[in-house]
Amino acid sequence: MRIALKTLGCKVNQAESDSLMKDILEKGFEVVHFSEVSDLYIINGCAVTQEAERKTRQMVRQALRRNPGALVLLAGCAARLLRKEAQNPWDERVVVLTSQEKEKEILEYVGKFGVQGISPEVRYPSRVRSWVKVEDGCDHFCSYCIVPHLRGGVRSESPQKIVKQVQDLEEKGVREIVLCGINLGYFGRDISFTLIELLDLLVRVTAQVRFRLSSLEPFALEEDFLERYFSLGRRVCPHFHLPLQSGSDRILEKMGRGYDTVRYRSLVGTLRRMMPEVAVTTDVIVGFPGETEDDFQNTFRFCEEMGFSRMHVFLFSSRPGTPAFRWEKEMGIPYPEKKRREKLLLGLAEESRFRYHRQFLGKTVEVLVESFRAPFGVGYSENYIPVRLEGVSRSQVGKVLRGRIQETARDFVVASPCVEPAGE
């Protein structure tokens, strides 16, 4: 039997799909690309925005057209939203899954087809960076976010399970592991174990893999965490993704974000005091209900001041069941105005990214080579700069190499190889 898997949405979805892929391959099923004809299509869908939900539905329709006799399993937040709204817009060929343990539920469906010719040597998808989900759920309930309503409260994986997964990945050649969660900073609050304790443990039980954190809410970070984080040295990446969402204190309060711009500015200042070359990336929402031109200008100026190395800009998208869904009907911003504001922030994001890259001219970075595109090895530095590294062969994919940055562009930098290997 042929199985195709499609993932939409966040890093947590990607981590869940990676784990599911491993289990499916171990059961001996043939995994094909989603664009091919398959007997079973698994769609790990997203519902965080209207656009994400639209794309998920589109993937279902594509699967049904590709093979009208196939079974489609829809999982993830999109599935939970449909079940919550008592909807299944398709026929019996589409099964909408809603279990919190969706991997187990999917494998039960897969198991009904029986094992097909197990290969003695299972080959996993080639990857030198991998995501590991350590936490699910969120207790914060921002006024615009549907995710806590769909995924429930904080649930942390056990440190023992995480250690085993991380060690297995390192043995398979993974050189960077990104720890992710729906609210990563809340990891361990339900098991009396903290995120920094987990990081310290993972560094001690592995040999050379480097660790990166996916996204941390500003309200969940304290100075003590940062001090202990940087004490772990080059085994942890000097990169923090801190979703801002708005640079207007009035809008932040309406969003229920749990911090203001004073708190955010102080946090970024602490990071740069401890590690001057740290990368700070962020998310920003434009067009939140009731966002005035002054609110937007405050956001623009604040983002300019912060000098983010990367900004993801999103148009506000109302989600049913949230307070902001009602506010959008009462005080929504016209779509053309949202697009105007988005364009301005995207322009700032490009300039800010380029300025950050320029800081590293002539400096040395450690690049995890993830692919080879002659004549370059392509990968990311420890502070998440996309690097094209000269003088690299295909056989060096999967290694961490040092490179000195010679040229900077808006989307990447070019580096020449250094003689000494990374880590020495």
Q: Which CATH number fits domain 364-417: 2.160.20.60, 3.20.20.450, 2.40.50.140, 3.40.50.620?
A: 2.40.50.140
Which pLDDT score, from 0 to 100, does residue 297 have? Answer: 98
Q: Would you state the CATH architecture of domain 126-237?
A: 2-Layer Sandwich (3.30)
Which pLDDT score, from 0 to 100, does residue 87 have? Answer: 66
Which pLDDT score, from 0 to 100, does residue 414 have? Answer: 96
Q: What is the mean pLDDT of each run of 10 residues along the chain (424 residues)?
A: 90 87 83 91 92 93 93 88 73 78 70 51 60 94 94 95 96 95 95 96 97 95 95 96 98 97 98 96 98 98 98 95 95 97 98 95 95 93 96 92 92 87 55
Which pLDDT score, from 0 to 100, does residue 118 have? Answer: 42
Q: Which CATH number fits domain 252-359: 3.60.20.10, 3.40.50.2300, 3.30.750.200, 3.40.50.1170?
A: 3.30.750.200
Which pLDDT score, from 0 to 100, does residue 120 have? Answer: 35
Which pLDDT score, from 0 to 100, does residue 422 have? Answer: 62
Residue 103 sits at φ, ψ, to 5 deg, of: -60, -45
Which pLDDT score, from 0 to 100, does residue 421 have? Answer: 55
Q: Do domains 126-237 and 252-359 have the same CATH topology?
A: yes
Classify 2-111 by CATH class. Answer: alpha beta
pTM for this one?
0.90
Domain ranges of the chain: 2-111, 126-237, 252-359, 364-417
Which pLDDT score, from 0 to 100, does residue 119 have? Answer: 41
Which pLDDT score, from 0 to 100, does residue 114 have? Answer: 53
